[in-house]
Amino acid sequence: MSNDQFREFLREVLPSMGYSWRRFERRNIRRRVRSRMESLQIHEMARYARLVIADAGERAVLDSLLRLTITRFFRNSWLWSELAELISEAAVRLESGETLNIWSAGCAGGEEPFSLAMLMDDLARSGLLKRSWTILATDTDRASLERAHTGTYRWGSVREVPRHLLHRWFSEDDGVWSLSGEVRDLVTFREHDILTMEPPGRFHLVFLRNSVLTYNVEEVQRRALESVRSCLITPGYLIIGRTEKMPEGVGFEEVEKCIYRKRE
């Protein structure tokens, strides 16, 4: 399988699956597809493309091969200072007795929602967060959700955790960093597909980072953003990835880089 053959396969098949094909020109994705073809004893990319187009079951298999779960705790460290201020201000505006609800959509192995839990706990300890709060984390990939439940990570995933939080909440054994059960209990995990299912509740903040806006075509992006917008409690904030861009006219206004507010 040459680079050109693989690129042509992506260009032919992925747009019909709702994906931006250029985002998947990766060596690891190519290896996965080649391994799948070998298991089916298919040696030509064109033949495998025809199979994917004709067979819904094989499309589902390919979809699972395309999943990328590269992330880490406190990814883009500069953003978390902005989030601390945003969360504190959002909590102040809550009605008496109201809970601050946060949704991490596409949570992968839990690095993002667990980062949120540590941040929220830190804000509460410092007196900057005096409201109750919940974090719901969802993903379509069961393997990622199972990894989140174990709470064990390698150094590459935890290297950006602030040192006081790393020492407070993690223990290390033979290169494996285990997250305290006290933090894991602060996050609720659920299998959920933002593209095919109704939002799993009403939220003040939604995190949609490095997923739909990176890997899907604009039509799919707009559908996901409308779903998010419908579940946001005014003023409602959406957090996206550093390199991601919002389509025009989707009902959000930029507050800071990566941070958007629901527009009424």
pTM as predicted: 0.87
pLDDT of residue 120: 96
Tell me which amino acid residue 1 is.
Answer: M
Average pLDDT value for the chain: 93
Q: If you write DSSP's letter for every residue of 12-64 in order, what string do you get? A: HHGGGGTB-GGGG--HHHHHHHHHHHHHTT---HHHHHHHHHH-HHHHHHHHH
Fold of 77-262: Rossmann fold (3.40.50)
- pLDDT tens for residues 7-35? 999 999 999 999 988 888 888 899 999 99
Residues of the chain with pLDDT > 90, as a percent, come to 78
Closest of 60, 66, 32, 33 to residue 47, by C-alpha: 33
What DSSP string describes the chain? Answer: --HHHHHHHHHHHGGGGTB-GGGG--HHHHHHHHHHHHHTT---HHHHHHHHHH-HHHHHHHHHHT------TTSSHHHHHHHHHHHHHHHHTSPTT--EEEEEES-TTTHHHHHHHHHHHHHHHTTS--S-EEEEEEES-HHHHHHHHHTEE-HHHHTTS-HHHHHHHEEEETTEEEE-HHHHTTEEEEE--TTTS--SS-EEEEE--SSHHHHB-HHHHHHHHHHHHHHEEEEEEEE--TT--PPTTSSEEEEETTEEEE--
What percentage of the chain has pLDDT greater than the value 70?
A: 99
The pLDDT of residue 68: 74
pLDDT at 196 over 80: yes
For the stretch 201-233, pLDDT in tens is: 999 999 999 889 999 999 999 999 999 999 999
Task: Give residue 83's pLDDT.
Answer: 95
Q: What is the pLDDT of residue 264?
A: 78
Residue 259, pLDDT score: 96
Label residue 168 exposed, middle or buried (CB < 10 Å: 0-12, 13-18, 19+): middle
**CA–CA separation, 127 and 112 (whole Å):** 23
Task: Name the band, by pLDDT with cuts 50, 70 and 90, for residue 247.
Answer: very high
Q: What is the pLDDT of residues 70-113, one digit of tens each?
A: 689 999 989 999 999 999 989 988 888 899 999 999 999 999 99
Domain segments of the chain: what residues?
3-65, 77-262
- Give the Cβ contact number of residue 110 at 10 Å: 28
